[in-house]
Structures are given as C-alpha cells and as structure tokens.
Amino acid sequence: MAYDSGNVFAKILRGEIPCDKVYEDDHALAFKDIRPQAPVHVLVIPKGPYADTDDFADNASDAEIAGFFRAVGKVSKQLGVSDAGYRILANHGPHAHQEVMHFHLHIFAGRDLGGMIKRFSD
Ligand code: AMP
C-alpha cells in the first residue's frame, strides 16, 4: 500500500489540523480518538510515513519500531490504565475496516472491554 501524505493523521503530524494530544516523542504521537468507543480511546501513530501494519513492519527501521512500541507502553502508563487493563488494536485493510491509511494502534480502556472479538459464527 503506497503512502498518501494527504491522510488525516499526516495532516495532524504536520500541524495542519489539531488533535487532543496525550503524548509525543521522537518516534510517536498519541492523541484522543475523535469518536471514542470506550471511556479511554487513544490512537498512537508513528511519525514516519507508513500506511498500514505491513508497511510499518516491512519498512520502518528497528529504531522506529522499538521507539513506537516503547511509546505505546509510556502512553498506557501515563493514562493510568495498566493495572485495570487495556486493549491495543490495529486495523489493516478492508476486512478490518481500516479508515485512515497511516499506521496506528488504538488503545481502549476505562471499562471491562468484554471478549476479544465477535465470533465467526455469530
Ligand atoms: P481505523 O478504522 O483503525 O483506521 O480508525 C481510524 C480512527 O481514527 C477512527 O476511530 C476515527 O474515529 C479516528 N479519527 C479520524 N479522524 C480523526 C481526527 N481528526 N482526530 C482523532 N481521531 C480521528
């Protein structure tokens, strides 16, 4: 998937549109999801131009990948959700309904989140 720098998260990174920032460092930016699906719903994005999970895994440097996941850990601690628990999720491609083509992880927390996924047979 080629990266399109016109996506909304690229605009947030360039400061062209605002976000409700939670955390930022050299590798990652975290901000509140505009349509929260849990009491805590934060998105963590890498600063580099990676469209989706495969692109990030294939093309980001070791430093970018390590820095990104360390940022996820810092965000969860900063949010105070580590003890009660949280869920991280990445949507990739059409079956997962990925909407924004800049790789990101969702952090959901703040209540019991139920089972992992709707079952295939449901
Ligand atoms: P995904 O389906 O994984 O691509 O999810 C994209 C997420 O980005 C959705 O949960 C949207 O609510 C969220 N989103 C879209 N635009 C913005 C924005 N400007 N600020 C914060 N979150 C956004």
33 Cβ partners below 8 Å, 6+ apart?
41, 42, 43, 106
Is 105 within a domain?
A: yes
Q: Which residue, chain included where needed, has tokens 């965000």? A: 75
Q: What is the CATH number of the domain that holds 91?
A: 3.30.428.10
Rounded average pLDDT over 88-110:
97
Q: What is the pLDDT of residue 96?
A: 96
| Ligand 1 centroid – CA 65 distance (Å) | 21
| CA 99 to ligand 1: nearest atom | 4
Rounded average pLDDT over 103-116:
95
- Does the structure show a pLDDT above 80 at 119? no
Q: What is the pLDDT of residue 122?
A: 62
The 10s digit of each residue's pLDDT in 43-96 is 999 999 999 999 999 999 999 999 999 999 999 999 999 999 999 999 999 999
Among 35, 101, 102, 106, residue to substitute to test ligand 1 (most atoms within 8 Å of Cβ)? 35
Asked if residue 81 lies in contact with residue 109, where contact means CB atoms within 8 angstroms, the answer is yes
DSSP string covering 52-103: SHHHHHHHS-HHHHHHHHHHHHHHHHHHT-TTT-EEEE---SGGGT--SSS-
Is 119 within a domain?
A: no
Is 29 within a domain?
A: yes
92 is catalytic: no
Question: What residues make up the domain containing 33?
Answer: 8-109
Is 115 within a domain?
A: no
| Ligand 1 centroid – CA 111 distance (Å) | 20
Is 51 within a domain?
A: yes
Is 28 within a domain?
A: yes
- How many structural domains does the chain have? 1
